[in-house]
Structure 1
Amino acid sequence: MEERKELTIEEIHEGTIGILKKIIELCDMLQVNYYIMYGSLIGAVRHHGFIPWDDDLDIAMLRPEYEKLCSYCETHQAELGHFALMNRRTAKEYPYNISRFCDMRYSMEKKDTIPGAGMGMFVDIYPFDGAGPDAQKAIKKYSKKKYFYQSGLVWAFSKDPWPEKRSKLLAIPKLPFWLYAKARGAQYFLDKLDALQHSYRLEDSTYVACMVWDPQVYPMKKSFFEGYELLEFEGLQVKAPHNYDELLRLMYGNYMQLPPAEARVPTHEYRLYRK
């Protein structure tokens, strides 16, 4: 039997662009806005495409538009061909509260204990919810909760209460907490995180954040997502948040400066293969 060959970073970039094209097609059809985000936004500004060593792509959407895209994909799966939207509503054992739009002609093999749930090559889609009128108050009120729930989720998936390589979310190396997380189960912590999307009304908020992801709250001005600017990304024109330079400097500081050579490596815990 022929051994499977792991995809190169160049092959991942090529396949991911195909996924992004399909997302843009759907968003244009549904008349909803998406925003290239996080490291992918840095890539768009600094490299006019992927950060050369980055192995995924991130987009963000305000919650109402995110739900509109998800609803369409969930009810028109047969029309998506080899693409599929994966989230907790569509995929058994899906381990996140964000969605992934996948090309199912590929398979993913994870290196950690979090379930792969049958995912293919993907683009992450982050829903942004209201974070209230005061960013610091939102951080103070919800960051501890998010850290606790996210830590519990990681521990619930962990097979070992004292793993050799600890992340920041595994910084409580205590058997009782591991046993508590195991007893509660991953779905309990996912539900707790998911409920945070209702913390503030989007209409009444000056700030937004991805309340259902990350162990902290990172509020951003809602005005960043009340318009868009077009940037080049691997030959495509993609939507970026309004005033993206201000957003990136708030998040990353001098984002135009390259990291040290030793840090220019992929950071995600998975491998991708053609089926």
Structure 2
Amino acid sequence: MNDKEYICDEIRDKFQVSSIRKKVWLCELKIAQWFCTVCSKYNLSYFLIGGSAIGAVRHNGFIPWDDDLDIGMLRNNFETFKEVAPKELPDEYYIEYGVLSDNIFSSLLRIRNKNTTGILVDEFRQGSEGGGIFIEIYPFDNTIGGVSRKIQLLKSSMFFLALNNWNRKNDFRGTKRLIISILRLFPISFIWVLYEKNNKKYNNYGTDYVDTIALPSYAKLGIHYYLLSDVIETVAHEYEFIKLNIPIGNDRCLRQQYGEYMRLPPIEQRGIHHDFIVFYDPDKPYSDYKNSSILKRYFDGDVSLELL
């Protein structure tokens, strides 16, 4: 199938998939193809997570009303990819992770296409110009249960809040405001080092479980608290016109997060995508939206500006 055929409108599971959404998908799939090529070259393992993993087994591709691609990597594979990827990057792609310019940070690794627009609401609120359409890579770290896990997540949450609010007016109260105010007395790069050190704390302990500690809100819910044995091996699965890997224990991972994930939601609940988390435009570079009033209107909830 060529690109022109792929981006045609179609109806999937009684949901109208627009050509614009298809263009976003196509952009993400091409990034994923490059990512898979690098992983194959360096013998790195990865696995789809969340809605992307559901899409694979339930739809053989994207959930028709979804628009992102989320991938997990165990920390050792993640670190190797982070090291080797820059020398493999084509001109139109770039990588974001850690402390970025203007004291903005990213706890997830994003591979982005600079010739498109995929601006996140947090980027806009922090005064960043944002970036291109992306796929997200989640680092998975060893973790344990009980009180030690709660302490680890508490520390991670406080570091994350401080990093995420570095360029924002501090509107927290009580203990959170005090802790964040103290942390912000130090350089953001120093706090990032403490944050990563805490996330990696149990990687040499040989634990039975792994989690996305780098995203504390998810870790607190336990939705990615996976048995290491479920994700250390993967299997290839059809995903649109390519193949992507899912965990060997994909069913258990998805049931933990979603329950009966193979059951489609009612028709009236399909395609409720006006969450205003990401502004997409696959036809223009994000630089075209610099200082544009369109972004403020969109992130304030102007449905008329939804392109998908």
Root mean square deviation, CA, Å: 2.8
Aligned equivalent of 2:200: 198
Deviation at 1:193, TM superposition (A): 2.7
Q: Map 1:1-275 to 2 at 5 A.
A: 8-74=20-86, 76=87, 79-88=89-98, 93-112=103-122, 113-114=125-126, 116=128, 118-132=130-144, 135-159=145-169, 161=171, 173-174=172-173, 177-178=176-177, 181=180, 184-185=183-184, 187=188, 190-202=192-204, 204-215=206-217, 216-217=219-220, 218=222, 219-260=225-266, 261-262=268-269, 264-266=271-273, 267=275, 269-273=277-281, 274-275=284-285
Q: Output one character per residue of 1:38-89: Cα deviation in whole Å (capped at 9) or x when no partner.
A: 1110111111111112121100111111111110123x16x52211222126
**SS of equivalent residue, structure 2 residue 106:** coil
Deviation at 1:121, TM superposition (A): 0.9
Deviation at 1:229, TM superposition (A): 1.5
Amino acid at match of 2:272: V
Aligned equivalent of 2:288: none
1:137–1:44 Cα change, 3 Å: farther
Aligned length: 254
**SS of equivalent residue, structure 1 residue 18:** helix
Deviation at 1:14, TM superposition (A): 1.5
Deviation at 1:222, TM superposition (A): 0.7
CA distance in 2, matches of 1:270, 1:110: 4
1:223–1:37 Cα change, 3 Å: same
Aligned equivalent of 1:167: none
**SS of equivalent residue, structure 1 residue 98:** strand
Q: Output one character per residue of 1:9-47: Cα deviation in whole Å (capped at 9) or x when no partner.
A: 222111111111111111111111111111110111111
1:43–1:37 Cα change, 3 Å: same
Deviation at 1:198, TM superposition (A): 2.5
Q: Is the 8 A contact 1:155 1:182 kept in 2?
A: no
4+ runs of 1 displaced by more than 6 Å? none
Aligned equivalent of 2:295: none
Q: Percent identity, aligned pairs only?
A: 23
Q: Which runs of 5+ in 2 are unaligned?
A: 1-18, 286-308
Q: Is the 8 A contact 2:97 2:109 kept in 1?
A: yes
Structure 1 length normalisation: TM-score?
0.80
1:175–1:140 Cα change, 3 Å: closer
1:229–1:202 Cα change, 3 Å: farther
**SS of equivalent residue, structure 2 residue 236:** strand
1:139–1:160 Cα change, 3 Å: closer
CA distance in 1, matches of 2:46, 2:180: 35
Deviation at 1:220, TM superposition (A): 1.1
1:147–1:160 Cα change, 3 Å: closer
1:268–1:22 Cα change, 3 Å: farther
Q: Is the 8 A contact 1:97 1:194 kept in 2?
A: no
Aligned equivalent of 2:15: none
**SS of equivalent residue, structure 2 residue 117:** strand
CA distance in 1, matches of 2:159, 2:140: 18
Q: Output one character per residue of 1:119-138: Cα deviation in whole Å (capped at 9) or x when no partner.
A: 21111001111114xx3455
CA distance in 2, matches of 1:248, 1:156: 34
